[in-house]
Structure 1
Amino acid sequence: MLATIEFVELMPTILLPLCFFIAAQRKAPTGVYFVDSTILRVCHHRRSSQNRVFKGLAKKCRSTMGWFYGFKLHLIVNDMGELMAFKLSQATTDDRVVLPEMAQGLTGKIIGDKGYISQKLFNALYEK
């Protein structure tokens, strides 16, 4: 297992190949998609001021499961559970903000929870 220092040193060299790998895993569109987000905790929110690795990148935010310090991972999968799109954002990013960019190139229905409800977002996606 990598230590934090080794991980941070390897990140710049691994990031681009990782993005290509994930993009190559994208499957064929089916017309029915599900979107949701989950939290990625960096550390306990009480220790956020001591965290140096993600200082300036990670944010404190409150979710349905309490306070956390970290990021949000947004995913779109098709009805077969195959990954169609993903985005990593700061914890404070509204789910509705990242959806239009993630949904580019997808046609059909996108089903999400109440965090994605917005008439403005519906109209923007419907016009595409």
Structure 2
Amino acid sequence: MEVIGEFLVFSTDKGIWTYFCHHWRDGFPGLGSRANFAKQAANLWVVKQKLQEKLAMLLSAFDRPVHIIDGFPLPVCGFKRAKGCANFKGQADYGYCAAKNETYYGFKGHLMIDEIGVITGLTLTPANVSGREATWDVIGSIKGCLLGDKGYLGVEFKQEMKAEGIEMITPVRANMDDPIPRKTRRVINAKRRLIETVISQLAGQFAIEKCWARDLWHLSNRIARKLLSHTLGIFANFKQGKSQRGWLQQANVIGC
């Protein structure tokens, strides 16, 4: 129900419950109240997380030689309302999103994908935590190359990653010499933009940048459901025999 609801662009527990209550009540006679549905859904957030990891494993996502990492903002309220916001006290913080050129109050999602676009890791931190700090929570057991933006640039950090069997590759600043040939750099930059596509899908189709929760329990469930839905869409395309280039096409996965 939850995954189908996400593909039907119902991004909240209320929206999913209302749709199935009004249109599929005969198919779900034990659906119960909206409050119970939301509670039961939240209780299963770890199950959704494990299902997503299993699908990623079946797609060989953790074994690929190239992964990509980036962050996205997850504000918990409008900036002007931040001082009076009672939700996530002591958990959320102020941060800056360079892509949107704005300061916000909330969390930052740190997402990692493989070179095809399959999600292999995500962690949530206060908005002021740097990408380098959060990287350790998402890399897991991957090896090979990890592509990131300038936020992951750092000599010491690169050495620490190398000790873990990971080559951290980032753009260089204007006053630095680039050890990577220009032609290779263009290929890397094009590959790195794949994560922008995935984040755009998560934000557009699955509304992952909308908080719509008052505690980490329900927020964790929302995020786990959206990651599972995205990965299940890729898995469905894989099972239909589509080429890897077509795996990220999420439209019409369930014929809607």
Normalised by the length of structure 2, the TM-score is: 0.44
Q: Looking at secondary structure, tell me which structure has more strand per residue.
A: 1
Report which of the two has the higher share of helix.
Answer: 2
* Count, aligned residues: 123
Structure 1 residue 44 corresponds to structure 2 residue 78: yes
In the aligned structure 2, how far is the partner of 1:119 from the partner of 1:12?
46
The gaps in structure 1 that reach 5 residues or longer are: none
State the Cα distance separating 1:19 from its structure 2 match.
2.9
- How far the C-alpha of 1:53 sits from its partner, in A, is 1.8
Give, in whole Å, the separation in 2 of the partners of 1:77 and 1:122.
Answer: 19
In 2, Cα distance between the equivalents of 1:70 and 1:12?
25
Question: How do residues 1-128 of structure 1 correspond to structure 2 at under 5 angstroms?
Answer: 2=14, 14=42, 17-26=44-53, 27=56, 28=60, 29=62, 30-64=64-98, 65-128=101-164
Task: Tell me the TM-score normalised to structure 1 length.
Answer: 0.84
Which one-letter code corresponds to 2:131 in the other structure?
D
| SS of structure 2 residue aligned to 1:102 | coil
Contact in 2 for aligned 1:45/1:60 (Cα 8 Å): no
Aligned amino acid, residue 23 of structure 1: K
Q: CA RMSD in A?
A: 2.3
What SS is found at the alignment partner of 1:56? coil
Q: How far does the alpha carbon of each residue in 1:32-80 deviate from its partner, in whole angstroms, 9 at most, with x for none? A: 1000000001111110122112222111122222110110000100011
Which stretches of structure 1, 4 residues or more, deviate above 3 A after TM superposition? 10-13
Shift of 1:24: 2.4
Tell me how far 1:12 sits from its aligned partner: 9.4
Cα distance change on mapping 1:58 and 1:11 into 2, 3 Å? farther
Question: In percent, how many aligned pairs have the same letter?
Answer: 22
Separation of aligned partners in 2, 1:19 and 1:58: 22
Q: Which of structures 1 and 2 has the bigger CA Rg? A: 2
